[in-house]
Amino acid sequence: MSTLIVVGAQWGDEGKGKIVHLLGKKADTIVRYQGGNNAGHTVVFDGKKFVLHQIPSGILQPGRRCLIANGVVMDPWALRDEARFLESRKIRVKGRLFISAWAHLILPYHRYLDALRESGQGKIGTTKRGIGPAYSDKVGRVGVRLADYMDPPTFRTLVEQNLSAKAPLLKSLVSLAVLRNETFKDYDSLRRFFEPLMADTPALLQKDLAAGKNVLFEGAQGTMLDVDFGTYPFVTSSNPIAGAACVGSGVGPAAIDEVLGVVKAYTTRVGDGPFPTELKDSFGDALRERGQEFGATTGRPRRCGWFDAVVVRHAVRINGLTRLSLTKLDVLEGVDPIRVCVAYRIDGKVVKDFPASRRAQAEAVPIYKELPGFAGPVKGITRYQDLPDAAKKYCRFLETEVGVPMALISMGRSREETILLDKSFRWIP
């Protein structure tokens, strides 16, 4: 048996979908343990582009079982559409995808509440998909779980209670009658759709672990969007970090063997909030175009900046990372010099650990180390020894600076565009 957690070690969009798809060849079960359909994982498989939001990207590996666990908040309509999309592309979902009966649902009133907040002073740059309000209902103990949804009397009672409480807040956006109609839209057909998918996922996982199977846990977003350890309040509403894989799926921490952190060769983030190494110039714009840095979910342009070792060291510590996967090294081809942020200057002091204070995060001035750039082409290289010396030096510098070895270097979205570094990493196919 082997268990692996794959997490984003920056602000998300690091390329986790491709890595999960690649390593999923060794998995028997792939588990999505948190987040909602605000996440977007882009994978190129057999020459076709797939953008997935809720279903684990491991579904693209034939014969693997995929679980949407209890830590996820699920949009029933969006999930059904995603499953239909996959089936239309000849990717079998039925009999392979199972959803936790304990998972909470995103309902129409959650999306309206999200839009209401984003229109006011509390705006933080969400996708307006209702994820935050759904998690608020969960911790407020008024949420609706899939098990409740599948029981009509319980569901109707819970919905009416929630509509009574939320309608006054939403009267400027939508009437109670419209909200009720939207919430019950397609209810009978959706129940039939979810009936064969709903499962006791902790029990399924326990059987897998007892049988010695390989289980891969997949998070959404990234460490710096973690509601506890990210750039609060400009964060997501759940915990993308590795520790949440246990809470979000129903397995104990003793069952986890390794944690792989996925990092981009530079840094990006979507939405508002502090970003110390952001490049607000023509080179930042060029980096965005070269890396095609536009959100898979919303199409929003991502903010781009130099690699921030302070951020990644924070992710190493919080997640207990054992290895790294570096993505998009090819985007830096021809850039000279390449800069890496190794520390911050805050209030005149040099700081190497990421600060908790929102003022310190906003005012941190990066301290850079310059490294020589490398010429190409590097895209298409699949052996580490064939990389330019400066590219290899850059990779080794990052390893040393953050304190974790690299297992993989990714040069593109397809699984073939990958350099496999560490043969002792048992998940490498």
Structural domain harbouring 109: 104-192
Residues 154 and 243 in one domain: no
Let me know whether 235 and 268 are in one domain: no
122 versus 416: the higher-pLDDT residue is: 416
Checking if the pLDDT of 380 tops 90, the result is: no
Same-domain check for residues 204 and 346:
no
CB 2 within 8 A of CB 322: no
Same domain, 236 and 173: no
The phi, psi pair for 218, rounded to 5°, reads -120, 125
pTM of the model: 0.94
CATH number for the domain harbouring residue 172? 1.10.300.10
Q: Is 324 contained in some domain?
A: yes
Domain membership of residue 427 (yes or no) is no
pLDDT score, position 296: 67
DSSP-derived secondary structure letter, 276:
T
| 178 three-class SS | helix
Residue found by looking up tokens 């021809």 in the block: 334
**Token digits of residue 237:** 């509403």
* Mean pLDDT rounded to a whole number for the chain: 93
Identify the domain boundary among 142, 161, 192: 192
Does residue 269 share a domain with residue 403? yes
Model pLDDT, residue 417: 85
Q: Output the CA torsion sign for 353, 355, 356, 362.
A: negative
Specify the range with the lowest mean pLDDT, choosing from 201-205, 313-317, 382-386: 382-386
Distance from C-alpha of 326 to C-alpha of 72, rounded to nearest angstrom: 26
Report residue 85 as tokens: 């999309």
341, 306 contact by CB (below 8 A): yes
Whether the CB-CB separation of 197 and 97 falls below 8 Å is answered with yes
Q: What is the mean pLDDT of residues 32-58?
A: 81
Amino acid at 255: A
> Residue 58: pLDDT band by 50, 70, 90 thresholds?
confident
Domain assignment present for 289: yes
Q: Rounded mean pLDDT of 35-39?
A: 84
Is residue 414 predicted with pLDDT exceeding 80?
no
pLDDT band for position 428 (cuts 50, 70, 90): confident
Q: CA-to-CA distance for 412 and 43, rounded, in angstroms?
A: 10
What SS3 class is residue 222?
coil
Query: What total number of domains does the chain contain?
Result: 3
Query: Is residue 405 located within the same domain as residue 285?
Result: yes
Q: Which two tokens stand for residue 265?
A: 């060769």
In sequence order, what E strands does 170-284 have? Answer: 198-199, 214-218, 258-264, 267-269
Q: What CATH number does the domain containing 28 carry? A: 3.40.440.10
**221/83 same-domain check:** yes
- CB burial of 152-178 (b: ≥16 within 10 Å; e: otherwise) equals eeebeebbeebbeebbeebeeebeeee
Last residue of a domain, one of 157, 192, 227: 192
Cβ–Cβ under 8 Å, residues 17 and 41 = yes
Count of residues in the chain: 429
Distances in whole angstroms, Cα of residue 6 to Cα of each of 122, 136, 257, 296: 31, 26, 12, 19
What separation, in Å, do the N-terminal and C-terminal C-alpha atoms of the chain show?
Answer: 16
- Could you count the other beta carbons within 10 Å of the beta carbon of residue 298? 15
**What single-letter amino acid sits at 248?**
G
Q: Which residue has the higher pLDDT, 414 or 234?
A: 234
Residue 364 is predicted with a pLDDT of 98
CA 200 to chain centroid, in Å, comes to 23
Residues 90 and 163 in one domain: no
In a domain, 428, yes or no: no
Q: Is the pLDDT of residue 44 over 80?
A: no
**Strand intervals (E) in 273-337:** 303-305, 307-308, 323-327
User: For residue 295, what is the domain's CATH number?
Assistant: 3.90.170.10
Shortest CA distance to 409 belongs to which of 15, 4, 111, 11? 15
pLDDT-derived band at 119 (thresholds 50, 70, 90) equals confident
In a domain, 429, yes or no: no
pLDDT level of residue 422 (50, 70, 90 thresholds): confident
CA 398 centroid distance within chain? 22
> Do 166 and 64 have their domain in common?
no
Listed in sequence order, the residues at least 6 apart from 406 whose beta carbon sits closer than 8 Å to its beta carbon are 323, 324, 325, 326, 395, 398, 399, 421, 422
Q: 327 in a domain, yes or no?
A: yes
Alpha carbon distance 97, 9 (integer Å): 27
pLDDT tens digit sequence for 173-213: 899 999 999 999 999 999 999 999 999 999 999 999 999 99
Q: What pLDDT, on the 0 to 100 scale, is given for residue 297? A: 64
**Which domain-ending residue is among 192, 216, 241?**
192
- Please check whether residue 426 lies inside any domain of the structure: no
- Distance, in Å, from the CA atom of 158 to the CA atom of 143, rounded to the nearest integer, reads 8
Mind telling me the catalytic residues?
13, 41
Are 305 and 381 part of one and the same domain?
Answer: yes
pLDDT of amino acid 123: 73
Most confident of 37-41, 72-76, 172-176: 72-76
In sequence order, what are the beta bridge partners of 117? none
Tokens of 411: 């040069």
Whole-angstrom Cα distance, residue 108 to residue 75?
A: 9
Q: Does residue 274 have a pLDDT over 80? A: yes
Within this chain, do residues 35 and 90 fall inside the same structural domain, yes or no?
A: yes
What per-residue confidence (pLDDT) applies to 411? 86
For the chain, what percent of residues have pLDDT higher than 70? 98
Indicate if 228 and 114 belong to the same structural domain. Answer: no
Q: Give the HSE-up count for residue 312: Cα atoms under 13 Å, Cβ half-sphere.
A: 32
Please give the Cα distance from 21 to 27 (Å, whole number).
Answer: 10
Phi, psi of 263 (to 5 degrees): -130, 145
pLDDT in tens, 124-151: 777 789 999 999 999 999 999 999 999 9
Q: Is residue 40 part of a domain?
A: yes
E strand or H helix that includes residue 345: strand 338-346
